[in-house]
Amino acid sequence: MKERIQNHRLSLLMLLALLAGSMSFVRAQSGQMTLQQCVQYGLTKNKGVLKSKLEIDRANEKRTETRSEYLPQVSGSVSFQNNLKLQTSILPGELIGQPGTQVPVQFGTKYNTTAGIDAKQVIYNQSLIYSMKLTRQSTKVSEINARKTEEQLIYDIASAYYAAQISFTQKQLVESNLAQIDSLYKITQIQFDNDAAKQLDLDKLTVNKTNLQTELTTSTTNYEQQLLLLKYYAGMPLDASIEVTSIDLNGQSATIIDTKSLDNTDLELNMAQREIYSVTLQQIRAGYLPSLSLNFQSSVQNMQNDLRMFEKGAKWFPTSYIGLNLSIPIFDGLAKNSRAKQTKIQIEQSVLEEEYLTENLKMQRENANNTLKANQAALTSQQSNIELAQKVYTVTMAQFVGGIATITDIVNAETSLRDAQTNYLKALVQVKLGELDLIKSTGNIGSLNK
């Protein structure tokens, strides 16, 4: 009987050791979304991205509006006037043979109706030409801003996605460890029933099991929170059911890069904005130049004392003219001069901003390089440590089967393994975020969408 129980215990322990040795970090699940899928979804649904695209549309419409000022401007008008009291004028009496007197007279008719059309065509206006250049440059700025918004969104989605992956991995590890504790508790219970273990051994395992259950609840909550954040960034309904893919533990890390090469949307935006200042300065200076336009007006007018203006025989008197209008600026109180000086200051500020951004980008990339190197080294160290902890745990289990190790040794080995797993996950988080920061600093964050 004793031999049968011993064989039963040995078989259960061997099965437990096999489970511990083959423990996996993450299992594939249905309904998973890859990082690329989340990014693609976010680029079409995120409200910030949609808003930035609408801003491009608005800038394009502004270009059309400005261009229209160089096209013919045509307007029509109709007016009707009822002269309740005709205006009185004073004429000298000499006109009617009454010298030395003043004669009050009224001119006009009771009803006056006028219908006409006015047209204007700008022939030359250098300031308006620069206005059209400004709107084209403003569209370019809107496009760069939209791309910057997309890059930030990709970064946010990737950060949330990696965090969700880590939380999911931690959850899986805790579940695996909890399964091992359950198996060990059942085996110890068998030993206790056969007077081969103490109540203290069961109590120690119960404490570990309770701690793991609490840790599982925490990791599950963290995972759900990270999924909510991911759905928020991607513009998904918060009640949508999604899962993340497994972490590729064997994936290649980001490559350390040369910090001399700079490619960044902030720099592009700064240079595009400086171009706006430059065109604005040209526009202000163009305000000193004359402008020339062509004007045309044609109308008909009816004047009579009754309302039968549309009847046959009513008289309509036409009038029209065409002319050129040359406007020559002479003196504006130095307003344009002051605006030009302000714009020059903005250009100088933009140059300084570019220098600052360039140095800041170099610093960010250098820091990202150094941080990633350190994090990769730490991850390698923690990976070796978790392998060693797993080995210690397996050996301790074998010694326990052989009656050499105690339940305390098993608990200590299991705790060390859990600590090694936690430290490994922390190191993995730092590497993933370090890679993300490095990719962002190179201006290649869009590669996550490919």
379-428 pLDDT, tens per residue? 999 999 999 999 998 898 888 777 788 888 888 898 898 899 889 988 98
Verify that 10 and 29 share a domain, yes or no.
yes
Encoding tokens for residue 350? 């933009």
Verify that 304 and 439 share a domain, yes or no.
no
Q: How far apart are CA 202 and CA 340, in angstroms?
A: 84
Encoding tokens for residue 442? 């190179």
Q: How far apart are CA 82 and CA 282, in angstroms?
A: 51
Verify that 198 and 223 share a domain, yes or no.
yes
Single residue among 313, 328, 343 that ends a domain in this structure: 328
Verify that 158 and 254 share a domain, yes or no.
yes
Verify that 203 and 294 share a domain, yes or no.
no
Task: Give the model's pLDDT for residue 410.
Answer: 85
Q: Which helix (H) or strand (E) holds 390?
A: helix 335-401
Verify that 281 and 349 share a domain, yes or no.
yes
Q: Considering only 10-14, 97-101, 197-201, which range has the smallest mean pLDDT?
A: 10-14
Verify that 279 and 415 share a domain, yes or no.
yes
Encoding tokens for residue 292? 């020339």
32-60 pLDDT, tens per residue? 899 999 999 999 999 999 999 999 999 99
Q: What angle do CA 24, 28, 30 make, to 5 degrees?
A: 155
The answer for residues whose C-beta is within 8 angstroms of residue 401's C-beta and 6 or more apart is 9, 10, 13, 14, 17
In this structure, which long-range contacts are made by residues 22-29, counting pairs with CB atoms below 8 Å and at least 24 apart in sequence?
23/173, 23/176, 23/390, 24/172, 24/176, 25/169, 25/172, 25/173, 25/246, 25/247, 25/249, 26/165, 26/168, 26/169, 26/172, 26/246, 26/247, 27/172, 27/246, 28/245, 28/246, 29/243
Verify that 342 and 206 share a domain, yes or no.
yes
Strand order in the sheet with 73-82: 73-82, 111-124, 291-304, 317-327
Single residue among 328, 358, 384 that ends a domain in this structure: 328
Q: Which of 70, 71, 151 is nearest to 447 (CA)?
A: 151
Encoding tokens for residue 185? 């508790």
The number of folded domains in the chain is: 2
Verify that 132 and 168 share a domain, yes or no.
yes
The answer for residues whose C-beta is within 8 angstroms of residue 39's C-beta and 6 or more apart is 153, 154, 157, 158, 234, 448, 449
Task: Give the model's pLDDT for residue 3.
Answer: 45
Q: Which helix (H) or strand (E) holds 354?
A: helix 335-401
CATH of the domain at 38: 1.20.1600.10
Q: How far apart are CA 138 and CA 148, in angstroms?
A: 15
Query: How many other β-carbons are positioned within 10 Å of the β-carbon of residue 448?
Result: 19
* Beta partners for residue 117, in sequence order: 76, 298
Q: Which helix (H) or strand (E) holds 47?
A: helix 47-68
Task: Give the model's pLDDT for residue 132.
Answer: 94
C-alpha to C-alpha distances, 203 to 45, 150, 190, 191, nearest whole angstrom: 53, 54, 14, 14
β-pairing, 111-124 vs 291-304, is antiparallel
Verify that 161 and 225 share a domain, yes or no.
yes
Give the residue-averaged pLDDT of 261-271.
85
Q: What angle do CA 270, 275, 281 make, to 5 degrees?
A: 130
| % residues pLDDT > 90 (the chain) | 53
β-pairing, 243-244 vs 317-327, is unpaired
Q: How far apart are CA 171 and CA 229, in angstroms?
A: 18
Q: Which of 394, 389, 418, 281 is nearest to 340 (CA)?
A: 281
Domain of 81, in residue numbers: 73-124+290-328
Q: Which helix (H) or strand (E) holds 372?
A: helix 335-401
Task: Give the model's pLDDT for residue 262.
Answer: 61
Q: How far apart are CA 186 and CA 194, in angstroms?
A: 13
Residue with tokens 């869009």: 446
Single residue among 328, 348, 380 that ends a domain in this structure: 328
Tell me the pLDDT of the chain averaged across its residues.
86
Task: Give the model's pLDDT for residue 5.
Answer: 41
Verify that 217 and 101 share a domain, yes or no.
no
Q: Considering only 52-61, 113-122, 205-214, 302-311, which range has the smallest mean pLDDT?
A: 302-311
CATH of the domain at 118: 2.20.200
Verify that 118 and 162 share a domain, yes or no.
no
Give the residue-averaged pLDDT of 325-354.
95
β-pairing, 32-33 vs 102-106, is unpaired
132-142 pLDDT, tens per residue? 999 999 999 99
β-pairing, 32-33 vs 243-244, is parallel
Q: Which helix (H) or strand (E) holds 152?
A: helix 126-193
C-alpha to C-alpha distances, 48 to 79, 149, 265, nearest whole angstrom: 49, 7, 17
**CB contact at 8 A, 443 and 374:** no
Position 27 pLDDT exceeds 50 = no
